[in-house]
């Protein structure tokens, strides 16, 4: 079997795997933003494979080459170079529950896409700045997106309360992100495009992508994996309203027939509502599990399935911001500085408190306090 035929088989199998995983999630969750982003990521990967077979044609025997019109080449080039940005958006949407995506990243994403294709209409081939504008700078921006996404994956891994999703972080997002990071620098900057080694690097990375996607396919086909891409419900607008919905959820029947769940939920609620353990600045899932007397994985499942939270940090923010709202609404504490309230409920800095408050309540503590003071019910 020739190398060209072997590489064709790898390409074909990779395209099939990408199409299967993209279609699977879009079929399960057609209106889900995460499924749509994953489908777009798979489309970018397919574009990368097809365009690679065309652009590396001078290293491939004629029977295994493909021809593409100029317009198709440009479209596929834009699609494949959306992958790092889409990876960033997917990582944020799946893992940064309730947090806003920095607008600067959106602007940089559009700048990167402009540098991928439209820039060629403005920069003539052979000018000194061509390589800097069309290869190095886009690769640098792509590395920023991938690095940011990888940082989110690693930084919040321990706080994730969904066990299956924690595995997907390492298996899919982290490995996929690192592989794309390697591909960008090796194929566009480090290894000259004119060398056959660049083609070998391309095929090696395609094989890695294919292996990774096959593992993900096996895992997802073996279980109901739609929940991995579920988007958390939007905040109802106030911590008080959110608390009511959480409390109602905590009173539902125990999941999976676990007879101990009601007792464990009661113990957890006592620690939160009576002892106010969330006030401890350094509290962690491990320390809370030790206090209740449960293994970490069982506490994660308890908080997620019984109380409806997907992230431990969001879980702590909920209770801290709830108490902060109560203090800000209390006439007896009208003169209490906002910084004092932030420190009391467990935050170590006013910036972290303001950010969490704004994410949950959709306004700053100062604005919330002002509207409370102006309310006719405030006495």
User: Tens digit of pLDDT for each residue in 177-227?
Assistant: 888 888 889 888 888 888 899 999 999 999 988 887 777 767 665 555 555
Q: Is the dihedral of CA 30, 32, 37, 42 positive or negative?
A: negative
Bigger pLDDT: 378 or 111?
111
The answer to whether residue 127 sits within a structural domain is yes
Q: How far apart are CA 257 and CA 115, in angstroms?
A: 55
CATH code of 125's domain: 1.20.1070
Give the residue with greater pLDDT, 168 vs 209: 209
Between CA 378 and CA 361 the distance in angstroms is 19
At residue 45, the pLDDT reads 92
Spatial neighbors of 107 by CB under 8 A, at least 6 apart, are none
Specify whether 146 is located in the same domain as 32. yes
If asked whether residues 193 and 147 sit together in one domain, one would say: yes
pLDDT over 90 (residue 11): yes
Q: Does 10 have pLDDT greater than 60? A: yes
Read off the CATH number of the domain in which 283 is found: 1.10.10.60
Contact 135, 119 (CB under 8 A): no
Q: How many domains does the chain have?
A: 2
Domain that holds residue 165: 3-229
Pair (251, 334) in one structural domain: yes
Evaluate whether residue 379 is within a structural domain: no
Residue 263 has pLDDT above 90, yes or no: no
State mean pLDDT over 355-370.
Answer: 88
Count the neighbouring beta carbons within 10 Å of the beta carbon of residue 363: 15
The crossing angle, in degrees rounded to 10, of helices 103-116 and 83-95 is: 160
191 and 290, same structural domain? Answer: no
């Amino acid at each position: 079997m020739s190398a060209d035929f072997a590489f064709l088989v790898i390409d074909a199998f990779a395209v099939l795997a990408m199409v299967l995983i993209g279609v699977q999630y879009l079929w399960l969750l057609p209106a889900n933003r995460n499924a749509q982003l994953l489908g777009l990521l798979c489309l970018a990967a397919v574009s990368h494979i097809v365009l690679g077979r065309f652009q590396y044609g001078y290293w491939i025997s004629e029977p295994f080459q493909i021809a593409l019109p100029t317009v198709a080449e440009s479209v596929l080039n834009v699609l494949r170079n959306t992958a790092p940005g889409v990876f960033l958006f997917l990582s944020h949407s799946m893992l940064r529950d309730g947090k806003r995506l920095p607008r600067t990243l959106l602007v940089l994403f559009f700048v990167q896409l402009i540098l991928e294709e439209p820039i060629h209409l403005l920069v003539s081939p052979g000018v000194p700045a061509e390589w800097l504008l069309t290869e190095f700078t886009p690769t640098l921006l792509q590395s920023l997106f991938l690095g940011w996404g990888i940082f989110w994956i690693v930084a919040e891994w321990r706080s994730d309360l969904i066990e299956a999703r924690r595995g997907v972080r390492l298996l899919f997002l982290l490995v996929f992100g690192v592989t794309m990071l390697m591909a960008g620098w090796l194929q566009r900057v480090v290894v000259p495009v004119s060398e056959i080694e660049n083609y070998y690097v391309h095929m090696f990375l395609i094989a890695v992508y294919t292996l990774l996607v096959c593992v993900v396919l096996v895992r997802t086909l073996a279980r109901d994996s739609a929940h991995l891409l579920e988007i958390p419900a939007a905040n109802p607008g106030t911590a008080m309203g959110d608390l009511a919905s959480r409390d109602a959820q905590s009173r539902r029947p125990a999941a999976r027939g676990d007879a101990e769940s009601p007792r464990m939920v009661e113990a957890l609620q006592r620690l939160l509502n009576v002892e106010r353990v969330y006030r401890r600045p350094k509290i962690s899932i491990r320390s809370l599990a030790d206090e209740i007397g449960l293994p970490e994985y069982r506490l994660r499942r308890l908080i997620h399935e019984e109380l409806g939270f997907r992230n431990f940090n969001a879980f702590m923010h909920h209770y801290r911001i709830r108490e902060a709202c109560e203090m800000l609404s209390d006439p007896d504490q009208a003169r209490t500085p906002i910084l004092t309230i932030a420190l009391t409920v467990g935050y170590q800095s006013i910036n972290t408190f303001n950010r969490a408050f704004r994410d949950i309540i959709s306004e700053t503590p100062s604005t919330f306090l002002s509207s409370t003071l102006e309310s006719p019910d405030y006495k």
